[in-house]
Amino acid sequence: MASVNPINYGTPRRESDTQVTLEIDGRSVTVPAGTSVMRAAIESGIDVPKLCASDNVEPFGSCRLCLVEIEGKRGYPASCTTEVAEGMEVRTVSDKLNQLRRGVIELYLSDHPGASKVETGDVGDDELLRLARDLDVREVRYDKEGRNHQDAVIDDSNPYFDFDSSRCIVCSRCVRACDEVQGTFALTVDGRGFASMISAGTDSDDFLNSECVSCGACVQACPTEALVEKNVVEQGMPERSVTTTCAYCGVGCSFNAELKGDEVVRMVPAKEGKANHGHSCVKGRFAWGYTNHPDRITKPMVRDKITDPWREVSWDEAMSFAVERINGIRDKHGSTALGAITSSRCTNEETYLVQKMARAVFGTNNVDTCARVCHSPTGYGLNSTFGTSAGTQDFDSVEKSDVMLVIGANPTDAHPVFASQMKKRLREGARLIVVDPRAIDLVRSPHVAAEHHLQLQPGTNVALVNALAHTVLAEGLENRAFVEQRCDVEEYDAWREFILREENSPEHTAQYTGVPADALREAARLYATGGNAAIYYGLGVTEHSQGSTMVMGMANIAMATGNIGRPGVGVNPLRGQNNVQGSCDMGSFPHELPGYRHISDQGVRDIYEAEWGVKLDDEPGLRIPNMIDAATGGTFKALYVQGEDILQSDPNIKHIAAGLAAMECVIIQDIFLNETASYAHVFLPGSTFLEKDGTFTNAERRINRVRKIRTAPGGYADWEVTQMLAQALGYPMNYGHPSEIMDEIARTTPTFRGVSFDKIDALGSVQWPCNDEHPEGTPVMHVDNFVRGKGKFMLTPFVPTDERANRRFPLLLTTGRILSQYNVGAQTRRTANRLWHAEDWLELHPSDAEVRGIKDGTLVAVASRMGETTLRAKVSERMTPGVVYTTFHFPETAANVITTEYSDWATECPEYKVTAVEVRPCNTLSEWQRRYMDTRDQMQRIEGNQSVRAPDTVAASVEEASDDDWEPAE
Amino acid sequence: MDDEKMVRQANQIAQYFSAYPEDRAKEGVRGHIRKFWEPRMRTQLINYAGAGGEGLHPLVLWAATQLQDEAGQPV
């Protein structure tokens, strides 16, 4: 069990080759040079009173409580701002120090509302009151009727925390946390002297309307409960905590779930968390209320037809219903008519079981996962060049980077905790290149500015990376020694000849990319010669018809410049979902068994055939879009979907709906009746991350523990439900605990050979490969050799996408996500995060808006050759003219009604980032949206219930569908 | 999937590998389709190519012939 109040060492850890030995209270202490006296004392077990000091921010020396006596020094220096020195003799306790500290505490208490609680001992989370109690300050001699701040109005505008300035001692910990930890610089100390006040912006701003991003670092930093979680106000202080892992993005932050009984009071980011080092974002820290949302389905349900209402049944009846349908379909159409989709939100162990279910129980390799629509090109591209399908670095590597090349990623919104780490390094002097059609926050934000923003046209990534490579080679900036030592030189020579062709010069590619040649050459020079250069990328790279080519292009320039195989460099996918790396590792793709080993490999199949006791198919299975195509073609009949909502997340919704409607058995296992469930016949209640044991693997290959806090309302964790279904189908699946599943994964997968729950519990986390060679894991890959041996340069011809702007559809639409919402929004839409983002909107450049008569808030129709939807406009100079942008968090918007079926050539990852559209003002919802909303309740009703869904979530419906003429039912 | 989509996807693969010398390009297209396309999709391609293969890139046509010859053989 984690501590509710972990030790705070007062000042940050320092690293130095020089060790310093001093004496504190008669005890000999040795610490790195640069360490504060305060930290040295606390590390050696000697407590030092403090209020303004915290080990995640630089010392400030304002509260005057950490005073110490130092032999040979006059006065009483603050231990937080005094560095250790060789031979120093320090006293932290004396009558004089006690007198001084008590005097300071008394002054603070004279303008603090909680003084009376010192007597009762009910000091809550207030460090001032705790110190008053510990120093036995029971009386305040100063007149409370004098000037004070006790009539201050509480700012309760933020949905998750309050600011009560009557409790504030203006120690500035919150301001420094916002500056140094989060990097937003939203808070300040306003006024002088007695009027000094913590402020979130201007006088007219409250926290909600300020620049604050609600990461909660200030709340965590506050020593006096001036900033306090609303939950703590309402429920009181937590009593115990359990360390677990966030279920939102691929950063995979460690949290201490702080509990009262079995109820979560608050989530506090764990200082020991190696991915987040005690920091969090608004989603992870605050937006977990969906786990208790009344929309949760807690009983299994079945229905004969998707037009019937759902019927609540027992688990036994649900299993019998599913088994009868699956067996009937298999008997009639064979195993190839069956398939499964694993979830990137579920644990490794659960994902492993679903692919095992498909392969060993259904008898098919028709299994896929949501990485199909996000980072499947990463797998293909990095495997082709480096030999393995994962990012090369740990997150901490960025602290050694001199240059960051951020391509098609928006870390401050999608990976905010890592973005804070990036910004910290940028403030220290690292240089930044951003490649993005949109001016993301990193391009210019407080104390951070991109040296180069290459604002390219959507769909031209490969032309751009080829031009970067061309510049590197043409100007002799490559690292020839690295290439000759580490790479396949024959492949390099072929690549070099290809890249140096005129067609790849910046001057030639500018016609496609829109990026001036000079700017591109400058960026290339910086990447090649600026020191340690690291590439970070996101879905703006992968979700293109040339997504895989672009990944290979980035790997090529990293190898050519020697930026691979050490801290500070590398090629790093910022993966979207909490366990999308893990779901890929676990064999979720239809052509691969766990550990990225092709299904055609008899030796690999032998391992699993022996372990699972069945004969495995040696042919690749269907990918998600292939399953849908096969369903509309009549050869795919049954789908088991765990924690995935393909009807909202996948492109061309009409086609997805037609495919689902053509199936005879769709089994949805989820926590909510999601959009895809409109087409399901069986619904199995799922579990949240608080309701299961297991592991998630984040974007840096870090395997973190998920720990069960309470039992799911449906009674079972997801792995137990899969196991129940397997047993009902007659397969002997009998795990007693997820650790046994991990043991099987380790037994059968070389890169996981050394992984176990015991090891993760002992080390906190471990990064794969974890095996005999790397028993405690691998932070940085390809150090001495590439996984494939020699690095392989791949040719990267630029092929413009078939999706082109034309006279009818003159704009290019690209999609993304926003800080407060998460993917299809099933979780965050059911939290107070809606306050920041209650609907999707269309961003467009002022010039595009003006010629169309569009203003901020105008309702606009966005039409592509696939369909049309309506949403509100937001005029923004973030956009480049000709490019518009929207998020896809709300089903009402149905952004994927307009996206196309064009996809990456190698992996079929959809081309979400390029859709030719026209935008026009309108005054009504689209035909699709109106029908959709008219029929949503009908398709999701449960016998005996009016509706199971809050009005903010919608679903489509259909009775009969064909691929060509499908439209929502009336 | 419909033939138009299949032709487009197969041709995309060919467009990528056509950057390589002919022999490697041919093997690249064949190997990619063999490694990643489910048997129903390969059968559809083989049948389409056998019926004339309208719109298929020459590298795909060659790959389809090879795939037909080696149907049932290991990747």
Residues in chain B with CB shorter than 8 Å from the CB of A618 are 74
- How far CA A71 is from CA of A39, A83, A880, in Å, comes to 18, 14, 64
Asked if residue B74 belongs to a domain, the reply is: no
- Mean pLDDT over A189-200 rounds to 90
Q: Which three-class secondary structure state does DSSP give residue A131?
A: helix
Question: B66: distance to nearest CA of chain A, Å?
Answer: 17
* Domain spanning A19-135, CATH class: alpha beta
- How far CA A447 is from CA of A184, A202, A218, A426, A840, in Å, comes to 9, 19, 19, 8, 29
- Rounded CA-CA distance A675/A680 in Å is 10
Asked if residue A946 has pLDDT above 70, the reply is no
- Reported as half-sphere exposure (CB side, CA atoms, 13 A), residue B41 has a value of 27
pLDDT at A150: 87
Asked if residue A955 has pLDDT above 70, the reply is no
The domain defined by A811-940 folds into Barwin-like endoglucanases (2.40.40)
- Rounded CA-CA distance A633/A9 in Å is 64
CA angle A459, A430, A461 (to 5 degrees): 10
Taking the whole predicted model, whether its pTM rises above 0.80 is answered as yes
Neighbours of A937 (CB within 10 A): 16
pLDDT at A121: 73
Among A243-247, A485-489, A892-896, where is mean pLDDT lowest?
Answer: A892-896
Residues in chain A with CB shorter than 8 Å from the CB of B31 are none
- Mean pLDDT over A784-804 rounds to 95
What does DSSP assign to residue A358?
Answer: I
3-state secondary structure A698-752: CCCCEEEEECCCCCCCCCCCHHHHHHHHHHHCCCCCCCCCHHHHHHHHHHHCHHH
End-to-end Cα, chain A, rounded Å = 54
Asked if residue A534 has pLDDT above 90, the reply is yes
Q: Are A692 and A686 a contacting pair, CB within 8 Å? A: no
Interface size between A and B, measured as CB pairs under 8 A: 63
A301-374+580-691+711-740 has CATH 3.30.720.110 classification: no
B44 vs A: CB within 8 A: no
Closest CB to B38: pick one of A545, A600, A621.
A621
- Rounded CA-CA distance A906/A909 in Å is 8
pLDDT at A627: 97
Interface of B with A in 2-21 (CB under 8 A): 2, 5, 8-9, 12-13, 15-16, 18-20
Among residues A232, A235, A233, A155, the alpha carbon closest in space to that of A200 is found at: A155
Asked if residue A614 has pLDDT above 50, the reply is yes
Q: Whose structure tokens read 């028993």? A: A775
What does DSSP assign to residue A180?
Answer: I
Asked if residue B55 belongs to a domain, the reply is: yes
Question: A632: distance to nearest CA of chain B, Å?
Answer: 8
Residues in chain B with CB shorter than 8 Å from the CB of A498 are 19
Q: Whose structure tokens read 């095992």? A: A356
Q: Whose structure tokens read 């395997």? A: A703
Q: Are A881 and A812 a contacting pair, CB within 8 Å? A: no
Which residues are A598's β-sheet partners?
A: A592
Crossing angle of helices B3-17 and B22-36, in 10° steps, is 140
Query: What CATH homologous superfamily does A376-573 map to?
Result: Dimethylsulfoxide Reductase, domain 2 (3.40.228.10)
Residues in chain B with CB shorter than 8 Å from the CB of A591 are 35-36
- Closest chain B residue to the Cα of A635, Cα to Cα: B40
- Mean pLDDT over A626-638 rounds to 97
B69 vs A: CB within 8 A: no
Question: B60: distance to nearest CA of chain A, Å?
Answer: 13
pLDDT at A967: 35
Beta strands in A494-599 (DSSP E): 533-537, 571-573, 592-593, 597-598
Asked if residue A376 has pLDDT above 60, the reply is yes
For residue A769, cis peptide bond before it (omega within 30 degrees of 0): yes
Among residues A615, A659, A669, the alpha carbon closest in space to that of A638 is found at: A659
Closest CB to B37: pick one of A549, A620, A802.
A620
A97-133 exposure pattern, b = at least 16 Cβ within 10 A, e = fewer: beeebbebbbebbebbbbbebbeeeebbbbbbbbbbb
A154-292 has CATH 3.30.70.20 classification: yes
Are residues A905 and B12, on separate chains, in Cβ contact within 8 Å? yes
Among residues A634, A637, A628, the alpha carbon closest in space to that of A667 is found at: A637
Do the two domains A19-135 and A811-940 of this chain adopt the same fold?
Answer: no
- Closest chain A residue to the Cα of B33, Cα to Cα: A906
Asked if residue B75 belongs to a domain, the reply is: no
Which residues are A242's β-sheet partners?
A: A257
Non-local CB neighbours of B4 within 8 Å, separated by 6+ positions: none
pLDDT at A420: 98
DSSP per residue, A298-338:
-S-EE-SSTTSPBEE--HHHHHHHHHHHHHHHHHHH-GGGE
- Reported as half-sphere exposure (CB side, CA atoms, 13 A), residue A294 has a value of 5
Asked if residue B34 belongs to a domain, the reply is: yes
- Rounded CA-CA distance A588/A352 in Å is 8
pLDDT at A2: 60
A27-55 exposure pattern, b = at least 16 Cβ within 10 A, e = fewer: eebebbebbbbbbbbbbeebebbbbbbbb
Is 0.90 exceeded by the ipTM? yes
Q: By percentage, how much of chain A surpasses pLDDT 70?
A: 97
- Mean pLDDT over A814-825 rounds to 87
Give backbone dihedrals phi and psi of B13, rounded to 5 degrees, phi first.
Answer: -65, -45
Sequence ranges of the domains in chain A: 19-135, 154-292, 301-374+580-691+711-740, 376-573, 811-940
> Would you place residue A934 in the very low, low, confident or very high pLDDT band (cuts 50, 70, 90)?
confident
Residues in chain A with CB shorter than 8 Å from the CB of B19 are 498, 795-797
- Reported as half-sphere exposure (CB side, CA atoms, 13 A), residue A433 has a value of 27
The more confident residue out of A371 and A594 is A594
What pLDDT digit, counting tens, does each position of A231-258 carry?
Answer: 999 999 999 999 999 999 999 999 999 9
Are residues A906 and B16, on separate chains, in Cβ contact within 8 Å? yes
A261-271 exposure pattern, b = at least 16 Cβ within 10 A, e = fewer: eeebbbbbbbb
Residue A665 identity: C
Asked if residue A948 has pLDDT above 60, the reply is no
Residues in chain B with CB shorter than 8 Å from the CB of A549 are 16
- How far CA A168 is from CA of A52, A174, A746, in Å, comes to 11, 10, 51
B75 vs A: CB within 8 A: yes
Are residues B40 and A635, on separate chains, in Cβ contact within 8 Å? yes
- Closest chain A residue to the Cα of B13, Cα to Cα: A905
Residues in chain B with CB shorter than 8 Å from the CB of A600 are 35, 74-75
Q: Which domain holds residue B8?
A: 3-69
Asked if residue A810 has pLDDT above 80, the reply is yes
- How far CA A938 is from CA of A680, A685, A862, A956, in Å, comes to 13, 20, 27, 9
- Rounded CA-CA distance B33/A309 in Å is 43
B74 vs A: CB within 8 A: yes
Residues in chain A with CB shorter than 8 Å from the CB of B40 are 336, 622, 630, 635
Q: Which three-class secondary structure state does DSSP give residue A923?
A: coil
Q: Are A30 and A41 a contacting pair, CB within 8 Å? A: no
Q: Which of A372, A491, A793, A795 to mutate to test the interface with B (most CBs of B within 10 A)?
A: A795
Residues in chain A with CB shorter than 8 Å from the CB of B12 are 545, 799, 905
Residues in chain A with CB shorter than 8 Å from the CB of B32 are 906
- Sign of torsion, CA B20 B24 B29 B31? negative
Q: Which of A545, A593, A905 to mutate to test the interface with B (most CBs of B within 10 A)?
A: A905
Question: A795: distance to nearest CA of chain B, Å?
Answer: 7
Neighbours of A493 (CB within 10 A): 12
- Rounded CA-CA distance A767/A779 in Å is 6
Are residues A626 and B1, on separate chains, in Cβ contact within 8 Å? yes
What pLDDT digit, counting tens, does each position of A823-846 carry?
Answer: 888 899 999 999 999 999 999 999
- Rounded CA-CA distance A156/A203 in Å is 15
Asked if residue A633 has pLDDT above 60, the reply is yes
What pLDDT digit, counting tens, does each position of A270-297 carry?
Answer: 999 999 999 999 999 999 999 999 999 9
Q: Are A176 and A60 a contacting pair, CB within 8 Å? A: yes
pLDDT at A954: 33
Q: What is the mean pLDDT of chain A?
A: 93
Question: B29: distance to nearest CA of chain A, Å?
Answer: 10
Q: Are A76 and A68 a contacting pair, CB within 8 Å? A: yes
The total of structural domains in chain B comes to 1
A9-26 exposure pattern, b = at least 16 Cβ within 10 A, e = fewer: bbbbeeeeeeebebebbe
What pLDDT digit, counting tens, does each position of A97-122 carry?
Answer: 999 999 999 999 999 887 777 777 77
Q: Whose structure tokens read 């495995």? A: A616
- Rounded CA-CA distance A73/A88 in Å is 10
CA angle A708, A832, A282 (to 5 degrees): 65
Residues in chain B with CB shorter than 8 Å from the CB of A596 are none
- Closest chain A residue to the Cα of B32, Cα to Cα: A906
